[in-house]
Structure 1
Amino acid sequence: MYAPERQQQILQLVQEHGRVDVPSLAQTFGVTQETIRRDLGVLDRAGLLRRVHGGALPAGSLPEEPGLAEREVTAACEKDRIAHAALELLTELVPAEGSVLLDAGTTVSRLAALLPADSAWTVATNALPVAARLADHPRLTLHLVGGRLRRRTHAAVDAWALRDLAELHADVAVLAANGFDAAGGLTTPDLAEAAVKRAMVAGARRVVLLADSAKHGDRHLARFAGLAQVDVLVTDTGLDDDATREIEELGPKVIRA
């Protein structure tokens, strides 16, 4: 089947069912998930449908940003693998008493849950779920960044958060994104949350992005960094070789867990 024929059938499925997801489409058409993501990107740029995390909706749909509960169960296995790989990476990048910035994201929260109880790092975070998972670590120094609480993500944002982060210079910042690709960079739906992520990028010597492969090709309202500003992308094996090469040409090392 030629790509235009497959894309036409994808459009029909979107119109019939109101939503399609990447894994099901890949199975239906017998192609890779990355091929489906490229198809959805073509159709999205043509204004024929709307790409969302993991799939697509009819054109003109304005879905709400998913809350914590929905994001926790989305790509859960992939996020667990990414978190374990990220922990191994951090032990290489961060000195024994070094410093880490952790932003709001369910994969970042999974990473926080894996930090050893005897860790002596200094951690600053704007995310309540991350802080809750680290609050009882006896040797870890935890700084909770203040600001207005965004209830959808339980993250502190706005002027107080930006002021706190402007005073920090950490060894590593670990960030999440709602979407990433070579052309669009790292994006998220909320402008205030993007500003905090941008401040974390500026406040660290190295930047690590944790993002499952379903987010590749997704673009949202607020861009907070380019892939050239990322040192390491930790993702899953769903990111194909072509996409990996394209990203690594911009500078980041890609780890597929």
Structure 2
Amino acid sequence: MYAEERRRQIASLTAVEGRVNVTELSERFDVTAETVRRDLATLDREGVVHRVHGGAVASQSFQTAEFPLDTRLRSAQSAKTAIARAALDFLPAPGGSIFLDSGTTINAIAELIGDRPGGARWSIVTNSLPSALNLAAKHAPDVQLLGGTVRAITQAVVGDTSLRTLALMRADVAFIGTNALTLDHGLSTADSQEAAVKSAMVTNAHRVIVLCDSTKLGNDYLVSFAGIADIDVVITDANAPDFYVDALREREVDVVIAG
């Protein structure tokens, strides 16, 4: 496991549980206590957690930092692949319509859709350059890439042109990625323009499927784009804390554990 991914998981655990200790983290991630202390020191400097004697407690500040796409591709790779495979069960009937949001896990499901027999039978709208190119390379004939401005860090298309187009559209299913998920703040991300596109897809889809690996549970980013009540399904991985899974199900969200 990369140090960055381990730190993301530590941050998520701290946010969910409120407090973590060095000994338990050392055993969980099979690293030395000194490695955990360095991780906590790094997260403390970034304002993600607050160091305390023997461990750390959750920070209440909203995150704003974004990681480049190539960095995110290396984070939780096996979990994202499993989540993308599980998401295939929620594809609409042939002839149906799909919104594909931007993000590494969404890009993974786009690749699987392109490989799927009969995958060309869906109408697909996306604001993700990698997803659109992947589907086009696999000869999916009905793929629409939204127009607008490309954000280099995420390779997502955003802006007024995208929003005006989405306002005229409806989809059977929206597959949505997120930087973070909390029970009170819902789904959130760092950039307001990306949040606006995500929100439009959520609003204009009959069913909303959120692809969210466990490192994002309990984290909070600056811009909320959907509440828990706005989503139908959350697909996550086996490392998701039971507390979060149970809390989402109590709120009538179908939670699928991929793996």
Q: TM-score of the superposition, structure 2-length normalised? A: 0.77
Matching residue's letter, 1:118 = G
Equivalent pairs: percent with the same residue?
36
Deviation at residue 192 of structure 1 after TM alignment: 0.4
Residues 1:107 and 2:105 are matched in the alignment: yes
Q: TM-score of the superposition, structure 1-length normalised? A: 0.78
Unaligned stretches of 5+ residues in structure 1: 1-18, 34-42
Structure 2 Cα separation of the partners of residues 58 and 126 of structure 1 = 32
Deviation at residue 249 of structure 1 after TM alignment: 1.6
Report the equivalent of 2:135.
134
Query: 1:90-147 CA distances to partner (integer Å, 9 max, x unpaired)?
Result: 2xxx011100000101000000111115310000000000001100344541011111
Residues 1:51 and 2:48 are matched in the alignment: yes
Deviation at residue 203 of structure 1 after TM alignment: 1.1
SS in 2 for 1:219: coil
Deviation at residue 22 of structure 1 after TM alignment: 3.4
SS in 2 for 1:50: coil
Structure 1 Cα separation of the partners of residues 85 and 150 of structure 2 = 28
1:20–1:56: 8 Å Cα contact kept in structure 2?
no
Matching residue's letter, 1:211 = C
1:50–1:56: 8 Å Cα contact kept in structure 2?
no
Report the equivalent of 1:165.
166
Structure 2 Cα separation of the partners of residues 151 and 67 of structure 1 = 9
Report the equivalent of 2:96.
98
Structure 2 Cα separation of the partners of residues 21 and 99 of structure 1 = 34
Looking at both structures, which has the greater relative contact order when contacts are Cα pairs under 8 Å and sequence separation is at least 6? 2
Find runs of 4+ consecutive structure 1 residues off by over 2 angstroms. Answer: 19-33, 47-52, 55-64, 136-140
Alignment of 1:1-257 (within 5 A): 20-22=7-9, 28-30=22-24, 50-51=47-48, 64-90=65-91, 94-115=92-113, 116-119=116-119, 120-138=121-139, 140-257=141-258
1:227–1:251: 8 Å Cα contact kept in structure 2?
no
SS in 1 for 2:47: strand
Matching residue's letter, 1:30 = E
Structure 2 Cα separation of the partners of residues 48 and 113 of structure 1 = 37
Unaligned stretches of 5+ residues in structure 2: 1-5, 14-19, 29-39, 50-55
1:209–1:232: 8 Å Cα contact kept in structure 2?
yes
Deviation at residue 226 of structure 1 after TM alignment: 0.5
- The 3 A distance-change label for structure 1 pair 166 and 226 is same
SS in 2 for 1:256: strand
